[in-house]
Structure 1
Amino acid sequence: MDTSVDVTAQQGLPVISFAGGSEEALARQLDQAFSTIGFCYFRDIGVDAALVEGVFAASRRFHAMPRAAKEAIAMNRFHRGYMAPKTSVIQTSSVARVTKPNNSESFMLMHEVAPEDPRFGRPLDGPNLWPDLAGFREAVTAYEQAMHAFSLRLLKPLALALGLPRDWFAPYFGQATTFLRLLHYPPHDMTDPEAAFGSAPHTDYGFITILSQDDSGGLEVRRKDGTWLAAPPLPGTWVVNVADMLSRWTNGRWQSTPHRVTNLSGGDRYSCPYFFDMSMDSIVEVLPTCQGPDRPAQWPPVRYGDYLMERLDKNYAYRQQPETAA
């Protein structure tokens, strides 16, 4: 099996296959992609195409429901449920002064925390909300479980890429913080040059993001020189990017790259990002393999949960409202 990085001239991002080849070869590819731009495509990750089709079908059915039915499961204080359009403003963006809310709506699923779990009731540790929609929960859960299983497998080549033992990351993900977001972007208003982005320029907060997108296009990645590179849909692939905590762990060796979405397709756009992050209590400190006398640590240690909650509190309107029962 050819394990080389396939760079397609039209879109510029590496395409990395997980079929065949050694973990060491895969680790080299990951390091190359994440060190140069922080984004790539994955293919052959072992997630059945039927699961992908199922979660997109579920998302379209959900977003086609009447607004009142979606509002019945509005986002709870545990960051789960329905988020209406134009209710998030990326105030923590490091690359743009964002004043307009994102023109998108979404359903958010996170790791399930049962009432008997000692974590229950802590920030982001609570119940998911589900619409009254036949087959929705089953399709969404099946895709989430497949992505979780792949993400756990991914930890080993990531560790090898950083000169760490294969199982180094495992203790941080025994109680992983995960998000599956079913996003719907309406068409961009072409008559208004100041129309809001579907998603304004931003970086992701945690460890790694694995995105499945439809055929509409609109995702762009910022190069180091400040120009924007399209990340168009490629059949059978996921767009993958380094997030803030992984960049911080690597002392900036791997980039948490700004990206944005503008839906210029003329129709509706759907995407399903999966955010795979460490446990809320994880202390992220620059890795020993990514620092030295000539490269001191750029950041002090930080508890992931504290970093995450600061950003959620600033960026989401529902978190500024009086707290209500979940």
Structure 2
Amino acid sequence: MTTDVQYTHVELLTLNGPEYRRVSTAPPRLPTEDEIPIIDLSPIDNDLQERKQIAARVRAAAENTGFFYVKNHGIPEDLIQAAFAQAQAFFNQSEAEKQKIASSKMKQMDGFHGVGSTQINKTETKDRKETFSLRYNPHRDPQVHPATLPAEDQDNALWDGTAHLPGFRETTTAFYQARLALARKMIRIFALALHLPEDYFDELVTHPGADGLYVHYPGTPDAPSLSDAELDVGIGSHTDIQCVTLLWQDNSGGLQVLSANDEWLDARPVPGTLVVNIGDFLQRLSNNRFRSTVHRVYNRQTTSRYSMPFFLGFNPESVCRVVPSCVDDEHPPLYEPISCGQWHRDRLALAQGRLVRP
């Protein structure tokens, strides 16, 4: 005997007003290999033909669910584990200690956000998470020539406030740099996936909007016995703002991705991989060919969940338009040109209630 599938809707706040996505009320299921594939990046530094083969797999994933795993991504496992240990050490501090580097006190808006300080989806609960964020700074970009660096490193207050944590600055910086390098390689793969020259986006990532985070989702003692409706969401249903996200997640699970068939998929951790997903700005540039997909996190553990996402956007002042390979007589551009920085600022202001649109 089969049961009719029931649906509800997720509301998303966009610059054009609320949008609604249909969502099955069925429990999350495991994805098929096509919905969230595992893509091997080991040939990424080989010849162009091998990169085009990677790009073909990325294109299929980007046009389907917009999520995939990557293995053999080049970031050493010992660096990942060292960064994970630093994230644990940071969040294990007292609230008073963490608040010393609150984001509101930092020049670059790096630093700490406490549990419940954000609510990414206004129709759901406040986000049950706390974060440490590191934004782009040319002083930690290996591609920037030292002679062109600003005289003042605006991270000084951030590092002074974490100096008591052994190795925190060194490990966090090294992990940020490794993810920035991988993100720049991936944006070349995305160029190929869009049937563009692989260096098409290179000039747009010389000083990108690039944020590296440590995220802690506290455990809930009675979480396993609660339904999703009864459990505070770790981070609410949303799409990512920028171009590409790289995500490391621990073994707790909890990441749920909305499929092309409006079902929640359980994007479980796969050892040795990172999750990659498309953000709204890349969907925009692809004329909606690539999918920026709704996702959320529930921590169903009694213990902590940790993740380490990295968000790549383009240079803030770069005005971008729909790419030529995604436009023809039957597919005119759906979006006007806009700078990546303006797009990011407007989206953040909207999320924080500082920008009102119809």
TM-score (norm 2): 0.79
Larger radius of gyration: 2
Deviation, structure 1 residue 26: 0.7
1:128-184 CA-partner distances (Å, limit 9, x unpaired) = 723231111111111111111112222322211111112110010011111011000
Q: Which residue matches 2:188?
A: 156
Q: Which residue matches 2:216?
A: 184
Q: Which residue matches 1:89?
A: 119
Q: Which residue matches 2:38?
A: 15
Structure 1 residues 261-270 or 148-157, which shifts more? 148-157
Q: Flag the 1:156–1:29 CA change in 2: closer, same or farther, 3 A.
A: same
Q: Which residue matches 1:313?
A: 349
Deviation, structure 1 residue 298: 1.1
Q: Flag the 1:264–1:138 CA change in 2: closer, same or farther, 3 A.
A: same
Deviation, structure 1 residue 8: 7.2
Q: Flag the 1:12–1:161 CA change in 2: closer, same or farther, 3 A.
A: closer
Out of 60, 64, 70, the residue aligned to residue 98 of structure 2 is: 70
Q: Which residue matches 1:101?
A: 126
Q: Which runs of 4+ in 1 moved over 6 A?
A: 116-121
1:207-257 CA-partner distances (Å, limit 9, x unpaired) = 100000000000010012321001000000000000011110000000000
| 2:96 corresponds to 1:60 | no
Output the CA distance in 2 between the equivalents of 1:230 and 1:288.
35
Q: Structure 2 matches for 1:221-232, cutoff 5 A?
A: 221-232=257-268
Output the CA distance in 2 between the equivalents of 1:118 and 1:10.
45
1:245-285 CA-partner distances (Å, limit 9, x unpaired) = 11100000000001000000221000000111111112121
Out of 326, 335, 347, the residue aligned to residue 290 of structure 1 is: 326
Output the CA distance in 2 between the equivalents of 1:286 and 1:55.
36
Structure 1 residues 178-187 or 151-160, which shifts more? 151-160
How many residues align structurally? 304
Output the CA distance in 1 between the equivalents of 2:52 and 2:35.
24
Q: Which residue matches 1:280?
A: 316
Deviation, structure 1 residue 112: 1.5
| 2:304 corresponds to 1:257 | no
Output the CA distance in 2 between the equivalents of 1:26 and 1:51.
25
Output the CA distance in 1 between the equivalents of 2:74 and 2:155.
28
TM-score (norm 1): 0.86
Out of 222, 233, 249, the residue aligned to residue 197 of structure 1 is: 233
Q: Which runs of 5+ in 1 are unaligned?
A: 1-6, 92-96, 321-326
- The secondary structure found in structure 1 opposite 2:173 is helix
Structure 1 residues 58-67 or 97-106, which shifts more? 97-106
- The secondary structure found in structure 2 opposite 1:257 is coil
| 2:193 corresponds to 1:170 | no
Contact 1:248 1:284 in 2 (8 A): no
Structure 1 residues 127-136 or 20-29, which shifts more? 127-136
Structure 1 residues 169-178 or 222-231, which shifts more? 222-231
AA in 2 matched with 1:309: R
Contact 2:31 2:266 in 1 (8 A): no
Output the CA distance in 1 between the equivalents of 2:295 and 2:107.
27
Deviation, structure 1 residue 119: 8.5
Q: Percent identity?
A: 32
Output the CA distance in 1 between the equivalents of 2:215 and 2:352.
15
Output the CA distance in 2 between the equivalents of 1:10 and 1:246.
23
Q: Which residue matches 2:279?
A: 243
Q: Which runs of 5+ in 2 are unaligned?
A: 1-29, 140-146
1:87-106 CA-partner distances (Å, limit 9, x unpaired) = 11125xxxxx5253211001
